[in-house]
Amino acid sequence: MNVLTNFIPLPGPLRYLAYTRAAVARVLAYRVNFWMGAVGTVLGMTIQYYLWTAIYHGEDGALAGYGAVEALTYVILGQALQGFLHPEGDPLGRKVRDGSIAVDLARPADWQWVVFWDYLGGSLFRWLTTGVPAMVLFTVVGAVAAPPSLGAFLVFLVSAFLGFVLLFAWHFLFGLLSFWTKGGGLIDLKATAVSLFSGALVPLEFYPPGLRRMAMALPFRGIYYLPLSIYTGRLGAGEAAGALGWQAAWAVGLFLMARVLWRRATRSLVIHGG
């Protein structure tokens, strides 16, 4: 990577791929945390399997339109995706609060892209090394169903990436609020919104009607619910294409909104602390 980037200028955001590699190296540097995360992923998937098997025990039909295998596939794959669709911490907010953001602003790099590629590197590495192997294992032993087709699986991958961009933009926007709030209380709010409205825990069809309508109107369903609905085959080809367009529109919109707010914040920066 170093040799290539020294002699071949990469276009636009791709110049920040070094931060992706650094994120992977950082994950590997803390191997105890990495293996604890891997064990936690498999344990979480196992708990979901037995929980939802018990829920459907004795049920001849579907619940909220989901059969037993479809529901199991949704919740277990959702657990496997959490390594990818779960950027950790609040690095931007923390840097604003302790004043170290001034050092990053002095560097000739776009901090929004720096954080994006850093998040992507760590999240993708964790998913490929823990979530994907665990999902393959659960599929091989028959605990969950495979996607209906190769095409559906490829569309699912695109949808999962768009879900990542959506989640990143949401995290970055809340991190920017630290320029004005100078406090960390918003971290719980942003995490709660994602957990409740994204379909990360259960399919949105299981929600009460009012809460389900609210979740369907918000962008968070593009993080978990839409990718998982594509994987399980609940969305046909036409619906999946519309879902990708919906995700892309929200992802780009939130990303650009964060970019505008970032420029405004850095122009009126007031450093507190360190």
How many CA atoms does the CB half-sphere of 97 hold within 13 Å? 14
For residue 9, what pLDDT is reported?
Answer: 43
For residue 62, what pLDDT is reported?
Answer: 86
Average pLDDT over residues 42-66: 88
* H-helix or E-strand spanning residue 2: helix 2-7
User: For 106-117, how does the pLDDT look when each residue is reduced to its tens digit (9 = 90+)?
Assistant: 777 788 888 888
Spatial contact of 119 and 92, defined as CB atoms under 8 Å apart: no
Residue 47's pLDDT band (cuts 50, 70, 90): very high
Spatial contact of 113 and 175, defined as CB atoms under 8 Å apart: no
For residue 252, what pLDDT is reported?
Answer: 93
Q: Is the pTM of this model over 0.75?
A: yes
Spatial contact of 171 and 85, defined as CB atoms under 8 Å apart: no
- What CA dihedral angle connects 94, 99, 105 and 110, to 10 degrees? 0
- Taking the CA atoms of the chain, what radius of gyration do you get in angstroms? 20
> What percent of the chain has a predicted confidence (pLDDT) above 90?
39
Spatial contact of 63 and 156, defined as CB atoms under 8 Å apart: no
Question: Residue 102 pLDDT > 80, yes or no?
Answer: no
How many CA atoms does the CB half-sphere of 53 hold within 13 Å? 10
For residue 165, what pLDDT is reported?
Answer: 93
For residue 186, what pLDDT is reported?
Answer: 64
Tokens 């098997």: give the residue: 53
Type of residue at 273: G
User: For 205-256, how does the pLDDT look when each residue is reduced to its tens digit (9 = 90+)?
Assistant: 999 999 999 999 999 999 999 999 999 999 988 899 999 999 999 999 999 9
For residue 70, what pLDDT is reported?
Answer: 94
Of 39, 29, 227, residue with least CA distance to 130: 39
> How many helices (H) does the chain have, and how many strands (E)?
14, 0
For residue 187, what pLDDT is reported?
Answer: 67
* Inter-CA distances, 117 with 16, 23, 63, 96, Å: 6, 8, 40, 19
Determine how many CB atoms are found less than 10 A away from the CB of residue 221: 24
Q: How far is residue 240 CA from its own chain's centroid?
A: 19
Question: Residue 182 pLDDT > 80, yes or no?
Answer: no
Question: Residue 271 pLDDT > 60, yes or no?
Answer: no
For residue 33, what pLDDT is reported?
Answer: 78
Question: Residue 11 pLDDT > 60, yes or no?
Answer: no
